[in-house]
Structure formats: structure tokens, C-alpha cells
Amino acid sequence: MKIINTFVIVKDSLYSVQYETEMLNEFAKCFELWNDPIYLRAFFEQHKEDLEHKFWNDITIEDAIIKTREDAQLFEEELLYIAETGKTERLETLSTLFEPLSKGYIYGKFEKDKAKGIKRHSWLRMYAIRIEANLFVVCGGAIKLTQTMNNRDHLILELYKLEFTRNHLQDEGNKHLEFVEIN
């Protein structure tokens, strides 16, 4: 794995890496995939058993595809607003969009409950490294249907990308960059 570029998504606040094997940076790639019915159909066919978990209320593959795109649209419009308006008070909301990746992902314990207000459950995740309070570098994204990340190949890959990007960014005296996610 090799990072060939970093891109500015939101000035002074949000960056994204691009890996050698990809045509797009990870941030842009997420939205292309989450808007692609062919990709989404294949993904949910492959993870049909996870989708059938009672947590998802018997949702059909067809509805799962529609829901994914709807969630992605809301998410994208929010970020587009921030990207277009630049540094305003709302920009500070970027830091509230990201939250620390819980230890449960790595050690296999249950994910901590998170206050999500009235927002319905979304399985979309964007993973990033937090550099400062309001400065993030996106290194991947996924559809997360399970409680933990360490027993599904596509999520294990995301953990690896987090680790890889952190190593790429940090230097000798800097070993405590935090893993974060948007959901």
C-alpha cells in the first residue's frame, strides 16, 4: 500500500489521502461507491447475513441500497455546505461529526453506545486521523453492519488503512495521533 497524494477537501480542516491503487482520493471514493447501485447490490448480496441481523429490522437488499444512498446524500450535502462556505461557525461542526474510534473495534468488545440524538441508525462510516481538534485526514470509509470491525475483511482493511496512514503522517516524536470516524 502506498499513499500517492493528499487532497484538501475543506480548507484548513479536512484532508484525504489517495492510495496508489485508486483513481480517487478516499473521501471522493466513498461518495462514488455509496451512489453506485451496482456496487451496493454486490456489497449487500455479499453481506446478506449481516443485513439480516435483527438490529436492521428485516430490511430488504433493495431498501438497504436506497437507504445507503439517502444517508450518503444527507452527509454529502452537509459537507458540501461546509466546503463551499469555508471557515464559518458551522465549520466547527466538523469536529462534532467525527468521534473517536472506540476500543471495542480493535479489541473485540462491544461498541460503546453513542448519543446520536434523533438521527436514525446509519451504517456509513468514514475513517480519519485526527491531527488537531478540527483537523482530520480521511483514510477510508465503509458500510459497517456489524458491532465490531475486526471480524469482517472489508473492515479489517479499514483498520489497516488507519494504521498505515497514521504511520505515513506521523514522525519520530509523534506516536499518539487519534483514530476517528464519522457516522
Partner 1 sequence: MRMSNIKNRLEKNSKQDNSWVERAKYRKENKTWLDISFTIAVRIMSALKANKTADVFPKTQKELAEAMVCSPQYVNKLLKGTENLQLETVTKIEQILNISLIEIPEFQSTLQVEQFRKPAASDELVKKDVVFKIKKTKEKV
Q: How far is the CB of 29 from partner 1 (least distance, A)?
A: 9
Query: H/E element holding 131?
Result: strand 124-132
Q: How far is the CB of 55 from partner 1 (least distance, A)?
A: 22
Between 52 and 62, name the residue whose CB sits nearer to partner 1.
62
Q: How far is the CB of 41 from partner 1 (least distance, A)?
A: 5
Ramachandran area for residue 42 (φ above 0: left; ψ -120 to 50: alpha; else beta): alpha
Query: H/E element holding 136?
Result: strand 135-143
Between 59 and 104, name the residue whose CB sits nearer to partner 1.
59
Between 36 and 111, name the residue whose CB sits nearer to partner 1.
36
Q: How far is the CB of 67 from partner 1 (least distance, A)?
A: 11
Between 117 and 173, name the residue whose CB sits nearer to partner 1.
173
Residues within the interface to partner 1 (CB under 8 A): 5-9, 12, 15-16, 24-25, 27-28, 31-32, 35-38, 41, 61-62, 65-66, 69, 73, 76-77, 79-80, 83-84, 131-132, 135, 137, 169-171, 173-174, 177
Between 49 and 132, name the residue whose CB sits nearer to partner 1.
132
Return the half-sphere exposure (C-beta side, CA atoms, 13 A cut-off) of residue 5: 12
Alpha helix locations (H) across the chain? 26-34, 37-46, 48-51, 61-85, 93-97, 103-107, 153-169
Question: Are 22 and 136 in contact, with CB atoms under 8 Å apart?
Answer: no
Q: How far is the CB of 125 from partner 1 (least distance, A)?
A: 17
Rg (CA), the chain: 16
